[in-house]
Every structure is written in structure tokens, then in C-alpha cells.
Amino acid sequence: MSGIVHLVGAGPGDPGLLTVKGREVLTRADAVLYDRLGTEALMGLCRPDAERVDVGKQPGRAKMTQDQINAALVERGLAGRRVVRLKGGDPFVFGRGSEEAEALAAAGVRYEVVPGVTSAISAPAYAGIPVTHRAVATSFTVVTGHEDPAKGSEQTDWAALARVPGTLVVLMGMGRLDGIARALIAAGRPPGQPAAAVQWGTTPRQRSVVATLATLKGECDAVGLGSPAVVVIGEVAALAARIAWRDAARPLAGRTVVVTRARAQASGLRADLEALGARVVELPVIRIRPIPAGPEIERMCAAIGDFDLVVLTSANGADQLFARLAERGRDARALRPEQVVVAIGPATAERLAAHGVRADLVPERFVAEGILDALTGRELAGARVLVARAREARPDLVDGLRGRGAEVAEVALYETLTEDADPGLVEDALGADAVTFTSSSTVRNLLALLDHDGRARLAAGPRIVSIGPITSATAREAGLTVHAEAAEHTVPGLIAALVADAAG
Ligand code: SAH
């Protein structure tokens, strides 16, 4: 069977800018050769068993030359494989995709080009700069800035480009920005003409500077804005002040936020933060381990229908309860309609609903004390109550229930353990703008990962944002300042507190 090589444009970095066709071939490929720039966020779409070759970095070797890349594509194509060559932006815009196409054609390998969204247009667009505008630019020219304007041997005629009245878009130009600006000004472009640079365009790390042709280099240097960036020269650059659509929709743009919750639960929070513009460092400091079955859990499962009140104090608890019932061939029908089911908050109620049980009671405050308040007025003397929860949970709820005469069965269904952390990620987290804590255990376990110096940096550096008063108290006891606390003790409440803190 003959193989096929797809030369795929990955788009500029925002994974949503991959084409539908690109996604289709990427998810089916059995080998993917990729460049780092623009493709990071997409590699997760590959089949888990796909061969992945980072052509920019080979283990223990220098980066592959273009000839080696061509040969690697030809070899895999001839071997009958389904190959994707994933390239940042568009494969035929300064991507050397054309050289790969020629090599494949010469070797008689079937191939296909899947164009992509080029950074030349999309990075400016994400910074609020249209490359054309009816009133100010009727053309745009895309040029590489890689060639030295001071050398005679170059192919780029900067003086001619200076005379074209439209927008000039320069890729790979940061290294020679000074020389390019000088050459353009010398050939007649006004020094005061608007000019912009957009670094890491369309990604969470996007930054941009809008200045003039004469001042752009200095202003980029002042804020440390370098490669990879797209430079836009022309009147359109000034429109960024009016069309800054992305900043308005993204109150966390430019901020790095650490997510400490367990890996299995982090993805929703991560996606929400990224949608608001944050760069997210996922540093799971805890992991959830189900407690092995024992007599307590057996009794609970057998007698679940006998309790008057069933209380769940976390989403994990709800999941674990139904997992245990399922292991014994039982489901939501094991509960009886007369039983009162209490969920500590909306996330727990949502998990219960997913298992087919509607919570009868969700307190106003999503903390253990809130449950006791919500039960005020109910006769608890002699009531049989199940509290299904984490091993390390606080005793307050159970003590409170017992204090009111309830007969409480407290069953630990899971425990939270410290997750091992990559030192690089810890370093990244300590340099972040904000750290989020979704439970006391996330506070304790992050601190457990840090040495003395790390703790001092955590206390002095990032803003600390907590989901609620118990988590805040744990943080304060550990010597941290809590800068913001969620008013509603949920993940959306935590995000709202983070956004308000960033704005203030
Ligand atoms: N084929 C690519 C360009 C490859 S050349 C495309 O169509 O976009 C590499 C240059 O592209 C970088 O030096 C930089 O100038 C630009 N570039 C690529 N991705 C970028 C991004 N996300 N933000 C800013 N510039 C980017």
C-alpha cells in the first residue's frame, strides 16, 4: 500500500486555528514530524501510538537539516505510512514546505498540502491590527526580515518596499529590526509611521508593542519583546488602539496562573482560565486515591437505603460513593426517595445528578458549617446520617451532627495524597502572577513540595487566591497572605475572585 504525506499548516499557535482538514489528518496519522513553533498545543490530538519527531530537537543530536527532514518524510511515505508534516502557520509561507513538496514529488511519494492560517495575518489580527483597511491600506506585503539590509547580497529590496504605499508585514525580523527601520526610513517611509510587533501571537503568551517606525526597536527592547514576532509597518498599526478586541474579552491576558488541583479535575479550570487569556501552569499537588474496600465501606453499601440523611461534602465523594455502589452491582436505585440527600455545593450536586440523584438540599454557604445551618430546624435526634467523605476531612460537620443527637456513620471513601512535581514546573509556578487553591489540601501539599526558599518565594511573590474561608485559613496558618477569596465557594466563584483581583 502506498503511503501519504500531508504537509499541514498548524496555524499560528491558538489550537482553534487549525483547519478542519488539518485536524482530520493529524488525528489519523501514524507518524507526525513537527516544528515546535506554533504546534505545541496540537500534539495532544495525535494518536497515542503515533510516532512523534520534533525536527527542531533530536535527543542528543543537533536539529535536523532540511535535507534530513525531506529524507525522513520520503522514507516514511515509501514505507506506506500515513505521515503528517506539521508546520507553524502556513506550510508555504516561509515554511520550506515547498522544498519538502519537491522532494516528495521527486521520490514519487503521494502527498497533499493542507494550508494553514499564517501568522503574517493572524498575529496582527489578534493584536487588533487588520493588514488592510479601506481608508489606509489597499495592499500588504509579507517579507522575511532574515536577510541583512546592510549587505549587498540580499534579495530583498527594502528601498522598493519602502515606496509601496501599503502595509509591510515582516516575519523573522526581530533580529534586524534596527537595520530594517533605517533602510525603510532612508528610502522615504516617515519615521513617525505607526509600527507594531506582536510576539507569540494568538497564544496565551501574546504580547504586543505599538510604536512608530523610528521607536519600535527601542520600545520592544524596553519590555524585552523579541522573537518570534510579526512586525507590522504602516498606518494600520495605529488601529490596534481601537480594535483591541482580545484584551477586552480577556481580563487575564498576560497573566500566568497556577492551578494546583488534582490532574483529573484541573482541565475545566484550566480551559476557563485560558479562555480569559491566562497562561496556565498546571501543577497538580494532590491526587485522589480511593480507599480500598473494607468492612466500613461494605456496610455502607449494603445499608445505604437505611440512612435518613446522606451527606456528600465533595464532588469526589459523590463520584466515589457511586463507584463503590457500582462495584457491587448497585446504582442510584439503592437510595430511597424518602432519604434526604445533601450536597455541600453545586459541583457536588452536579456529580450526584450525573449519577442519577437530585440533591434535596444544597446549603447557602458551600462549607461544612453551611450544611449544619441548612439543617437548622430539622429534628436530628436519633436520625441516621451517612457522611461520605475524604479521610482527612475536618471533624466539625460530624461533631455538629452528633451534637444535635444524630447517629453518624462517617465513611472515608478517598484520600488526597501529595503528587510528585517536576522541579521545572515548581519553578514556573513560583514565578507566576497568581496561585489558585481549591481546598486546604492543595495548600498543604504545595507547601510540602517546597523547601524553605520556595516557601519564602511563594509568600512574597504570586497573588494567592482561595476558594473559601477554610482554604484561606489554612493558607494564613502557613504564613501566606490571601489576596482574594471567592465569595461563592465554587470554581466559577474562584475565577471571579481572580479576575477581580487582577483588575484591582
Ligand atoms: N509558516 C509560518 C512562518 C514561519 S517563519 C507562518 O505562516 O506563520 C517563522 C516566523 O514566523 C517567526 O520568526 C515569526 O516572525 C513568525 N511567527 C510564527 N508564529 C508566530 C506567532 N505565533 N507570533 C508571532 N510571530 C510568529
Q: What is the pLDDT of residues 237-264, one digit of tens each?
A: 999 999 988 877 789 988 999 999 998 8
Where does CATH 3.40.1010.10 sit in the chain? 4-116
Q: What is the mean pLDDT of residues 184-205?
A: 95
Where does CATH 3.40.50.10090 sit in the chain? 256-285+419-503, 293-416
Give the confidence band of 483 by pLDDT, cuts at 50, 70, 90: very high
What one-letter code names the amino acid at 163?
R
For the chain, how are helix, strand and coil distributed in percent, rounded to 5? Answer: 40, 20, 40
Whether residue 206 has its Cβ less than 6 Å from ligand 1: no
Give the confidence band of 275 by pLDDT, cuts at 50, 70, 90: confident
Whether residue 122 has its Cβ less than 6 Å from ligand 1: no
Q: What is the tens place of the pLDDT at every residue in 114-144? A: 999 999 999 999 999 999 999 899 999 999 9
The conformation of residue 133, written as its DSSP 8-state character, comes to B
Q: Indicate the class that CATH gives domain 256-285+419-503.
A: alpha beta
Return the higher-pLDDT residue of 334 and 59: 334
- Mutational pocket test of ligand 1: of 36, 40, 119, the residue with most ligand atoms within 8 Å of the beta carbon: 119
Which of ligand 1's atoms lies nearest the C-alpha of 173? 15
Q: Which CATH number fits domain 121-243: 1.25.40.20, 1.20.140.160, 3.30.460.80, 3.30.950.10?
A: 3.30.950.10
Three-class DSSP category at 111 = strand
Whether residue 90 has its Cβ less than 6 Å from ligand 1: yes
Which of ligand 1's atoms lies nearest the C-alpha of 117? 7
Whether residue 179 has its Cβ less than 6 Å from ligand 1: no
For residue 471, the CA-to-ligand 1 centroid distance in Å is: 43
CA 156 vs CA 142, 150, 159, 381: distances in Å: 11, 11, 9, 87
Q: What is the pLDDT of residue 152?
A: 57
Stretch among 144-148, 327-331, 409-413, 427-431 having the lowest mean pLDDT? 144-148
* Residue whose C-alpha cell reads 465513611 in the numeric block: 411
Question: What are the φ and ψ backbone dihedral angles of 397, each rounded to 5 degrees?
Answer: -65, -50
First to last CA, the chain: 62
The conformation of residue 379, written as its DSSP 8-state character, comes to -
Mean pLDDT for all residues in the chain = 93
Give the confidence band of 204 by pLDDT, cuts at 50, 70, 90: confident
CATH architecture of 293-416: 3-Layer(aba) Sandwich (3.40)
Whether residue 13 has its Cβ less than 6 Å from ligand 1: yes
Q: What is the pLDDT of residue 44?
A: 87
Q: Is 252 exposed, middle or buried (0-12, 13-18, 19+ CB in 10 A)?
A: buried
Where does CATH 3.30.950.10 sit in the chain? 121-243
For residue 228, the CA-to-ligand 1 centroid distance in Å is: 6
Contact 220, 159 (CB under 8 A): no
Q: Which residues carry out catalysis?
A: 35, 57
Whether residue 228 has its Cβ less than 6 Å from ligand 1: yes
Q: What is the pLDDT of residue 247?
A: 75
Question: Which CATH number does 4-116 carry?
Answer: 3.40.1010.10
User: Is 90 exceeded by the pLDDT of residue 399?
Assistant: yes
Which of ligand 1's atoms lies nearest the C-alpha of 90? 7
Q: What is the pLDDT of residue 250?
A: 85
CB atoms within 10 A of CB 473: 14
Give the confidence band of 181 by pLDDT, cuts at 50, 70, 90: very high
Which of ligand 1's atoms lies nearest the C-alpha of 199? 24
Whether residue 368 has its Cβ less than 6 Å from ligand 1: no
Q: What is the pLDDT of residue 59?
A: 59
- CA 431 – CA 34 distance, rounded (Å): 29
Contact 334, 325 (CB under 8 A): yes
